[in-house]
Amino acid sequence: MKIEIKDLSQVYKNDFRALDKVNLEINPGMFGLLGPNGAGKSTLMRVLVTLLKPSHGEVYVNGDALSKNRGEIRSYLGYLPQDFRFFSKLRTWEFLDYAASLAGIHNKKKRLAEVDDLLEQVGLFDVRNRFANKLSGGMKRRLGIAQALVGDPKIVVVDEPTTGLDPEERIRFRNILSNLSQKEVIIILSTHIVGDISSTCSQMALLNGGQVHFTGSPEQFVKQSKGHVFKTSVTFDEMKTISEAYPVITSVPDAGGYEVEFVADNVNGWKASAIDPNLEHAYVYFMEYLANTKKA
């Protein structure tokens, strides 16, 4: 299973370029799509799941053009939309049953077994008879992922899946996806929450302003910012100056003021020690420095 995205552009009516000549290659495993709000993540995902026809370019799945083989490609897609909150009046299990039927499981017995299995997996078995719109936010997300996974999809696309989830839910959610990535499945996860990617993804891309700014593994991404992340202690007065000068990532109050972590190309006169960057640092560094210079 392999997805190639070639020269993909999406221009909306008002000349807004949501995607600008995107080229990507996605292999089985978990693929993280990182970027700020409005970067074009959702647009890219909607193109991938055949909801949107791109203005230009093509997506190839195993070498087959997406625009010409929607029927086939849809048959191995699973998709969790971003705003997965409103349900028609169906019970939890019925909702999954509906999805399973459309996913092509014709045999009723098999289908119901799979539905129960999935409900078990996402921990919704106890509420299987509750109406889906009566579920809590986290449960709805889990139901969402369950319906995306129904029918053994080969490509799973999840759009901002962890927004609004509490940490426990989020961890559970990541685990479900991780389990899945053991199989030969492409999981595309779009997020603006860096932690989601660092903990699960083997590949990632960074999207900003409709363009791909980085592709590779998260480690490679983090490496870019090595030597540009610092830690220091500042007084209350200095805090203002430093936060004006550099993007401050964390600031922990201590006895004399704050202990701050920040990113910078050069530390001009601050007594600061470079620390090992993590994905979050890398993301901020990238957004603040690399993205701008690249654009310029």
Partner 1 sequence: MISLFNVRTVSRFESKTLLRSWFFRIFAGVGFFFLLMFNMFAVAAIGDGAWPGRLVPSAVPYFNMWMLNIAQAIIAVFLSADFLGRDKKLDTTEAFYVRSMSNMDYVIGKTIGIMKVFLVLNVIVLFLGILFTLIGNEVPVNWTSFLIYPLLISLPTLVFVLGLSFFVMTLIRNQAITFVLMLGFIALSLFYIRNKWFGIFDFLGFFTPFMRSDFTGFGNESDLLFIRLGILLLGVVFILATVWRLPRLEQQKYSKVTLVVSMSIMFSAGIGLLLLKANRDYGNTQLRVEINTLNEGLKDSPYKIKAYDVDLKHSEKSIACIATLNLELEDKKNELVLALNPGLKVSKISSGTNQLQFERKGHLIIVKTSLVQSQSFDLKIEYDGQINDMAMYPEVDEEALLSLNRLDPILANKQFSFINPNYVLLTREANWYPVVASKLYWTRYPFTEMNLNVSTKNGLTVISQGNVVESDNGVWQFSPEQKLNAYSLVIGQYDHLRTTVDSIEFNLYHHKKHDFFKPYFTELSDTASHIIKGIKDDFERKLGVKYPFKRFSVIESPINMYSYLRNWSLATESVMPEMVLFPESGGGTWQNDLSRKKERIEDRSKDNNEDKSEKEVQVEVLKSYIGDNFIKPQRFFFGRRQDGERSVENWGRYQVFPNYFTYSNSVEEDGYPLLTIAMENYLHKRLSETQRRGLGGLSPNDEVILKLREKSLADLIKDEDVNTLGNVFASKGSQLLSNLKVNNEEGSFDTDLDEMISESRFKNVSLSEFSITMDELAQTDFSNLYGSWLNDQDIPAFLFGSINVWEVKEGNRIRYFMKVPVSNHGEVDGILSFTIREGQRRGGGRGGRFRSRFGMDGDDDSNNQSFVIKKGETSDIGFMLDDLPREVQVETYLAKNIPSSQRLETNDVITDQKKIKYFEGKSPSNTRLKHSEDFEIIVDNEDESCTLVNTGESRTIKDWWASKQNQDEESDTYGMIRFWNPPVKWKPVAGQDFYGEYLKSAFYKRKGSGAGYVSWKASIEDTGNYDVYAYVPDIRGGRRRKGGNSERDYHYTVYHDDGVEEIETAITSENSGWVYLGEFYFSDGEAEVRLSDTSTKSEYIIADAVKWVKK
Q: For binding to partner 1 (CB under 8 A), which residues are involved?
A: 49-53, 68, 70-72, 74-75, 77, 79-90, 94, 98-99, 101-104, 106, 144, 147-148
Pick from 154, 195, 161, 202: nearest CA to 178? 202
Give the C-alpha separation, 252 to 143, whole Å.
38
The helix/strand/coil state of 247 is coil
Placement of tokens 């003021």 in the chain: 257
Least Å distance between CB 156 and partner 1? 11
Give the C-alpha separation, 169 to 175, whole Å.
10
Nearer to partner 1 (CB atom), residue 97 or residue 280 = 97
Nearer to partner 1 (CB atom), residue 74 or residue 226 = 74
Least Å distance between CB 50 and partner 1? 6
Nearer to partner 1 (CB atom), residue 77 or residue 287 = 77
Least Å distance between CB 67 and partner 1? 8
Give the C-alpha separation, 269 to 19, whole Å.
40
Nearer to partner 1 (CB atom), residue 134 or residue 295 = 134
Cα 26 to Cα 13, 94, 99, 174, 259: the distances in Å are 29, 33, 26, 19, 40
Least Å distance between CB 219 and partner 1? 32
Least Å distance between CB 106 and partner 1? 6
The helix/strand/coil state of 236 is helix
Nearer to partner 1 (CB atom), residue 95 or residue 283 = 95
